């Protein structure tokens, strides 16, 4: 099961990414950022949501919004960026930074645009990999 945790307060990192991507010529109008957590296990959606909301290192109800997702892959207009660790360990959860891009009409950006943004700014291929 996958959980997205977004800021409900203004996200300066997303705003900076939007500004930089526009300067780099990427045709987007809005950027959203989220911490994406993919959990293994047999918890129900309600149990998982309650567990994440109790974990103060992941979730602060004063500044975060929690979204449960059925999919284990990025949505339209979105890429998940994962740090490439030199040594992998077995863990109950995987963490990604989710970037969702929108065009001028408010629709999710095309996959080509998302790939361009990842290549130009959102993902450093030396230490990260992007999932589309």
Are 68 and 1 in contact, with CB atoms under 8 Å apart?
yes
Percent of the chain with pLDDT over 70: 95
Are 1 and 45 in contact, with CB atoms under 8 Å apart?
yes
For 81, phi then psi, to 5°, come to -110, 125
Percent of the chain with pLDDT over 90: 86
Q: Give 20-74 pLDDT, tens digit per residue.
A: 999 999 999 999 999 999 998 888 999 999 999 999 999 999 999 999 998 999 9
Q: Which residues span the domain enclosing 78?
A: 2-131
DSSP class of residue 110 equals P
Category of 81 on φ-ψ map: left (φ > 0), alpha (ψ -120 to 50) or beta: beta
Residue reference for tokens 């996958």: 2
How far is 109 from 68, CA to CA, in rounded Å? 22
This prediction's pTM: 0.91
For 47, phi then psi, to 5°, come to -65, -40
DSSP class of residue 108 equals B
How far is 68 from 44, CA to CA, in rounded Å? 11
Q: How many domains does the chain have?
A: 1
DSSP class of residue 127 equals T
Q: Where are the alpha helices (DSSP H) in 8-108?
A: 12-23, 45-54
């Amino acid at each position: 099961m996958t959980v997205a945790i977004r800021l409900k307060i203004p996200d300066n990192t997303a705003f900076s990414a939007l500004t930089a991507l526009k300067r780099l010529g990427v045709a987007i109008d809005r950027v959203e950022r989220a911490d994406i957590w993919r959990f293994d296990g047999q918890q129900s959606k309600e149990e998982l949501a309650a567990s994440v909301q109790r974990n103060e290192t992941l979730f602060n109800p004063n500044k975060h919004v929690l979204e449960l997702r059925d999919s284990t892959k990025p949505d339209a207009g979105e890429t998940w960026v994962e740090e490439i660790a030199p040594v992998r360990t077995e863990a109950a959860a995987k963490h990604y930074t989710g970037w969702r891009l929108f065009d001028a009409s408010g629709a999710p950006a095309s996959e080509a645009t998302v790939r361009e943004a990842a290549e130009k700014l959102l993902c450093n291929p030396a230490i990260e990999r992007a999932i589309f």
